[in-house]
């Protein structure tokens, strides 16, 4: 069960000025983090890049590409010390509404089979596991598959 938050989360668009804060979260929570270039390319490509803030502090973010009636959720992350408070659930709800507003009929994402927290998050939000992509991610012992998940909007 998630702990209570003292202040309501605020969602705002990510800009290049936010990348120091984003990278410090990204580098702390992933063994194979996105690079700064991945985020700046996403911003330049016009992907939907959003931050979640609590009390003015950046505590998480998400990147979704929406095109041709489909959304592809590329990144959704919450800073370690802010996890288990419902922030990812709220951010995901915000992103799902955004995808609907941009006329997406489905959202797809990939997740590591070992990432039980994320799989539970997405499953709880209504995503179904529809396929596996072999050797999708780098891993300590070679490569790790990806579970492909889909939400029909």
Ligand X SMILES: CC(C)(COP(=O)(O)OP(=O)(O)OC[C@H]1O[C@@H](n2cnc3c(N)ncnc32)[C@H](O)[C@@H]1OP(=O)(O)O)[C@@H](O)C(=O)NCCC(=O)NCCS
Residues forming the site for ligand X (CB under 6 A): 1-2, 29, 76-78, 83-89, 111, 115-118, 120-121, 124
For the bound state, the minimum distance from the C-beta of residue 4 to ligand X, rounded and expressed in Å, comes to 11
Nearest to ligand X of 36, 94 (CB atom): 94
State which residue, 28 or 103, has the beta carbon closest to ligand X: 28
Report the nearest approach of ligand X to the CB of residue 92 (Å): 8
Q: Compare residues 103 and 131 and give the one whose CB is closer to ligand X.
A: 131
**Residue 110: its H or E element:** strand 106-111
φ, ψ at 16 (rounded to 5°): -60, -30
CB of residue 44 to ligand X, shortest distance in Å: 22
* Least distance (Å) between residue 82 CB and ligand X: 7
Round the CA-based radius of gyration of the chain to a whole number and report it. Answer: 15
| Nearest CB to ligand X, comparing residues 76 and 104 | 76
Which residue from 62, 56, 54, 50 is spatially nearest to 12, judged by alpha carbons? 50
Q: Which residues of 14-49 are buried (b: 16+ CB within 10 A; e: fewer)?
A: beeebbebbbebbeeeeeeebeeeebeebbeeebbb
How far is residue 127's CA from residue 49's CA, in Å, rounded to a whole number? 21
């Amino acid at each position: 069960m998630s702990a209570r938050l003292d202040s309501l989360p605020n969602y705002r668009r990510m800009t290049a000025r936010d990348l120091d804060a984003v990278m410090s979260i990204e580098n702390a929570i992933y063994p194979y983090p996105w690079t700064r270039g991945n985020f700046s390319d996403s911003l330049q490509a016009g992907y939907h890049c959003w931050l979640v803030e609590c009390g003015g502090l950046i505590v998480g973010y998400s990147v979704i590409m929406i095109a041709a009636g489909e959304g592809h959720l590329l990144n959704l992350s919450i800073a370690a010390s802010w996890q288990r408070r419902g922030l990812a659930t709220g951010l995901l709800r915000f992103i799902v509404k955004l995808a609907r507003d941009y006329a997406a009929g489905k959202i797809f994402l990939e997740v590591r089979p070992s990432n039980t927290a994320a799989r539970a998050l997405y499953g709880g939000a209504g995503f179904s596991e529809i396929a596996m992509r072999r050797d999708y991610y780098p891993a300590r012992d070679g490569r790790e598959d990806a579970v492909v998940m889909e939400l029909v909007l």
